């Protein structure tokens, strides 16, 4: 047991920390809406990419640094700590790239990986559908072979960054006559073509992080199948397994900062003298610390022993729940500000509701823990 970083890990962290301090992004644009905001993050990714910091977890042959899991987690912790934005093409860097590295052909890797790194081509993820959320394998978007092309019709939802994307990781049904997990195929779809319609999905915060994606007889060349026809479920799982890997560390640090801000706000108002507030703040602080430890334990157990523990399923559940509790307490502590649009307190109060839904609902996570970690019988309601 050793809860410290190695010298090599500390050197990696210090190099990044120094670089971030010396190359801060310009201030976030206050005008121009979502487009300006995205352009700002795109520029930021170019800055990262030029210095070799866009995707340290990628192998060196693809422009990364071949960072270990631990270094990659340090990378996201440091981005969070420096309060800089995540790179614009986060889905390409975290999900699309690593999926192609596992399943892509040499030609696909050569064609698609470099522009992911530089944010020249943005990626989005076409998995969920109106009728296929937690039960992803029941998706209905259909792809039919036509010569050396596929013709795709259907609807996707929760597609973040679709309006700026060049490529979509698209999972479709190519065979309706086999078991639902077996008839799926994973494609790279060009978003800039007729038949692709992107409609922003306004969420409870008032903004539109996500979109609906309507596909009407969209054509995809056969060369854009990833991992083989009928193998889409396995390829999609590779994508999903990468979903929580690094990002969790950035979110965990963000929660830490939020709590620091909240503790400071409580302190300013003299509320730390109030035992009820002090108790709740200490509970959140303790939970936040256990999230950090569980995240590191989950990662290092895999790295050192090749054995994932139960932590993977527990961290997201605990983080989302804790984040929500923190925003509720913030509303009590900062008062009217948290109830008025236009500041972080009110934004988080609303945005946090999505945390227990996106990336696996808490209910599904509990099912996974019950069935796969505790070995309980297959659940009735999930049959």
Partner 1 sequence: MDFGLNDDQRDIQGTARGLVAERASAERVREHAESGTTDTALWKELGEIGWPGIAIAEEHGGQGLGMVELAILCEELGRAIAPVPFLPTVAAAAIIEQGGSDEQRARWLPDLAAGRAIGAVADDTGFVVGGADADVIVIVERGGEEAAVLATAGATVEPIDAIDPTRPAARVTGGTPEALPGDVAAGVDRALVAIAAELIGVCSGSVEMTVAYVKERKQFGTPVGAFQAVAHKCAQMLLDTERARALVSQAAWCADAAPERLHEAAAMAKAAASDAGREVTASAIQAHGGIGFTWEADVHWRYKRAQIDAVLLGGAGAHRARVAKLAAAQARAAVTA
Catalytic residue among 77, 121, 243, 311: 243
Minimum distance, C-beta of residue 239 to partner 1, in the bound complex (Å): 25
User: Residues 259-288: x/- map of binding to partner 1 (CB under 8 A)?
Assistant: xxx-xx-xx----x--x--xx-xxx-xxx-
Residues listed for the chain: 383
CA torsion through residues 332, 338, 343, 349, sign: positive
Minimum distance, C-beta of residue 223 to partner 1, in the bound complex (Å): 42
297 makes contact with partner 1 (CB under 8 A): yes
> How far apart are the C-alpha atoms of 211 and 167, rounded to whole Å?
15
Near partner 1 by CB under 8 A, which window of 2-10, 193-201, 219-227, 345-353?
2-10
Applying the rule CB under 8 A, the residues between 54 and 93 that interact with partner 1 are 70
Name which position in 294, 329, 330, 349 contacts partner 1 (CB under 8 A): 294
344 makes contact with partner 1 (CB under 8 A): no
Using the minimum distance from each CB to partner 1, give the nearer residue, 27 or 375.
Answer: 375
> How far apart are the C-alpha atoms of 213 and 156, rounded to whole Å?
5
180 makes contact with partner 1 (CB under 8 A): no
What string of H, E and C letters represents the secondary structure of 212-246?
EEEEEEEEEEHHHEECCCCCHHHHHHHHHHHHCCC
367 makes contact with partner 1 (CB under 8 A): yes
317 makes contact with partner 1 (CB under 8 A): yes
> How far apart are the C-alpha atoms of 68 and 56, rounded to whole Å?
9
Would you say 70 and 8 are in contact if contact means Cβ atoms under 8 Å apart?
no
135 makes contact with partner 1 (CB under 8 A): no
CA dist 166 → 80, 154, 192 (Å) = 27, 19, 6
What 3-state class would DSSP assign to 57? coil
Burial of 217 (0-12, 13-18, 19+ CB in 10 A): exposed
Using the minimum distance from each CB to partner 1, give the nearer residue, 70 or 174.
Answer: 70
> How far apart are the C-alpha atoms of 216 and 201, rounded to whole Å?
19
Catalytic residue check, 243: yes
108 makes contact with partner 1 (CB under 8 A): no
Residues near partner 1, by CB under 8 A: 1-5, 9, 70, 257, 259-261, 263-264, 266-267, 272, 275, 278-279, 281-283, 285-287, 289-291, 293-294, 296-297, 300-301, 304-305, 310-311, 314, 317-318, 363, 365-367, 369-371, 373-382
Name the residues annotated as catalytic.
Answer: 243
């Amino acid at each position: 047991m050793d809860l410290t970083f190695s010298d090599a890990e500390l050197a990696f962290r210090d190099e990044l920390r120094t670089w971030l301090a010396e190359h801060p992004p310009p201030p976030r644009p206050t005008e121009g809406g979502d487009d300006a905001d995205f352009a700002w993050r795109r520029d930021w990714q170019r800055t990262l990419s030029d210095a070799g910091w866009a995707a340290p977890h990628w192998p060196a042959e693809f422009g990364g640094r071949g960072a270990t899991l631990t270094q990659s987690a340090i990378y996201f912790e440091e981005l969070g700590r420096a309060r800089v934005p995540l790179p614009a093409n986060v889905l390409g860097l975290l999900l699309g790239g690593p999926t192609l590295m596992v399943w892509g052909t040499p030609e696909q890797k050569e064609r698609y990986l470099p522009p992911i790194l530089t944010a020249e081509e943005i990626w989005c993820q076409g998995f969920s559908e109106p009728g296929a959320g937690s039960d992803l394998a029941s998706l209905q978007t259909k792809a039919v072979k036509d010569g050396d092309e596929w013709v795709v019709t259907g609807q996707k939802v929760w597609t973040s960054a679709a309006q700026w994307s060049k490529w979509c990781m698209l999972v479709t049904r190519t065979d309706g006559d086999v078991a639902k997990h077996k008839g799926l195929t994973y494609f790279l779809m060009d978003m800039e073509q007729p038949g692709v319609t992107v409609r922003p999905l306004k969420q409870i915060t008032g903004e539109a992080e996500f979109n609906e994606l309507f596909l009407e007889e969209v054509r995809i060349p056969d060369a854009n199948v990833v991992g083989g026809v009928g193998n889409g479920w396995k390829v999609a799982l590779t994508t999903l397994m990468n979903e929580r890997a690094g990002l969790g560390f950035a979110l965990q640090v963000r929660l830490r900062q939020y709590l620091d801000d909240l503790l400071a706000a409580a302190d300013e108002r003299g509320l730390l003298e109030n035992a009820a507030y002090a108790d709740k703040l200490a509970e959140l602080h303790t939970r936040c610390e256990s999230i950090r430890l569980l995240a590191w334990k989950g990662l290092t157990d895999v790295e050192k022993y090749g054995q994932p523990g139960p932590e993977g399923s527990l961290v997201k559940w605990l983080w989302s729940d804790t984040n929500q509790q923190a925003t509720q307490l913030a509303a009590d502590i900062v008062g009217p500000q948290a109830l008025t649009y236009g500041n972080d307190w009110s934004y988080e109060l609303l945005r946090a509701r999505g945390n227990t839904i996106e990336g696996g609902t808490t209910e599904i996570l509990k099912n996974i823990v019950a069935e796969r970690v505790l070995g309980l019988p297959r659940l009735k309601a999930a049959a």
